[in-house]
Amino acid sequence: PRFQSDTDAIINVSTAAICGTDLHAYHGEVPGFEPGIVMGHEFMGTVADVGSKVTTLKVGDRVVASDITACGTCWYCRQGQHWNCPKRSLFGYGPAFGESLAGGQAEQVRIPFADTVLIPVPPSLPDEQVLFLGDILTTGYLCALNGGVKPGDLVAVVGCGPVGIFAQMAARVMGAARVYGIDRISDRLAMAERFGSVPINFETKDPKDVIWADSNGRGADVALEAVGGKDPLDTAIRVIRPHGTVSIVGVHLEENYPFSAVDGFVRELTVRFGVGDPIRLAAQILPLIEQGVLQPQQIITHRISLDEVPEGYRIFNERKAFKVVVKF
């Protein structure tokens, strides 16, 4: 890749990952995504070169890339709302969310607005501990943060994929007394249980019945929705108590959602959508990794080379892998 702006940097990729969001492009569901676009928005490495207007980075710096780009200077960026930057793009996703940028499942990547988009990480932490700062760890953490999880809360997490697992981890870090992981896939439920959550298979038990029985009929204080789609959101709304909060980071593509305003009014519900923001939250999460409070590398099940990426997509798509990382 070559510079297209003085604020660009080039990085040599050391580790990347396949994200569940990549599967939408894999299945041809992303508007404007064409064959030949380099995929991947979860990646990290070392700085190989910097443009003349890059001021905070130098060659050799170890960095994690945010999954999205942002200019760092507009009104939204100054408020810490980088997803709404007019110059936002998503690496490796075509023109669906802005400029079409080559992704990180490659040996080198051009990084626009490098001072804003690249997150320096200490050399003491291995790649696998910090890689997920660029997307899914931050997204799961934001879900719990937006939910207002506090000590003593009962928290229900709908979805036990990587983002859902990280939302469960974050809820415990924030002091939740009990965390429920709701899914139907046995391997994912086992992963949730491994990290201390109470697993609920919604195909065999009604999550509302389980949670309400455990809470003397009150319901969960907070529900975190990490899947996307009508049914998971319905579940999240059903399991929370009156005056509870639903925090949503699942990807929702429905233009209309049949939500009962009467139910929301009578139960005084708070419903909040959010998108992970690594640029804003990495500095808050990184110390938790350094202290060993969060150990995100534990979700990795498969490690592959760049040549094995097609096979990596196959097993990830078939749910034979929980999280696949690409080593360079």
Q: Which ranges in 174-277 belong to alpha helices (H)?
A: 186-194, 207-214, 230-239, 261-267
The stretch 39-57 carries a mean pLDDT of 98
Are the C-beta atoms of residues 135 and 19 closer than 8 Å to each other? yes
Whether the per-residue pLDDT at 89 is higher than 90: the answer is: yes
Choose among 175, 184, 174: nearest CA to 207. Answer: 184
Class of domain 9-135+277-327 as given by CATH: alpha beta
Class of domain 137-273 as given by CATH: alpha beta
pLDDT for residue 252: 82
pLDDT confidence tier of residue 253, bands split at 50, 70 and 90: confident
pLDDT for residue 236: 97
Give the pairing type, strands 220-225 and 240-248.
parallel
Cα–Cα–Cα angle for 78, 150, 154, rounded to 5 degrees: 130
Choose among 37, 31, 40, 60: nearest CA to 48. Answer: 60
Q: What DSSP state is assigned to residue 118? A: E
Element (H, E) at 242: strand 240-248
Give the residue with greater pLDDT, 224 vs 25.
224
Element (H, E) at 170: helix 162-173
pLDDT for residue 258: 81
For 279, the 3-state DSSP assignment is: helix
Are the C-beta atoms of residues 228 and 253 closer than 8 Å to each other? yes
pLDDT for residue 259: 83
User: Which residues lie across from 64 on neighbouring strands?
Assistant: 44, 119
pLDDT per residue over 137-189, tens digit each?
A: 999 999 999 999 999 999 999 999 999 999 999 999 999 999 999 999 999 99
Are the C-beta atoms of residues 44 and 236 closer than 8 Å to each other? no
The stretch 281-285 carries a mean pLDDT of 97
User: Which residues lie across from 325 on neighbouring strands?
Assistant: 17, 303
Q: What's the whole-number average pLDDT of the chain?
A: 97
pLDDT confidence tier of residue 255, bands split at 50, 70 and 90: confident
The stretch 14-43 carries a mean pLDDT of 94
- Quote the tokens at residue 262: 């009467």
For 248, the 3-state DSSP assignment is: strand
Give me the residue spans of the domains in the chain: 9-135+277-327, 137-273
Cα–Cα–Cα angle for 187, 248, 41, rounded to 5 degrees: 70
Distances (CA, A) of 53 to 7, 50, 76, 113, 189: 5, 8, 21, 10, 48
The stretch 74-98 carries a mean pLDDT of 96
pLDDT for residue 187: 95
pLDDT for residue 124: 93
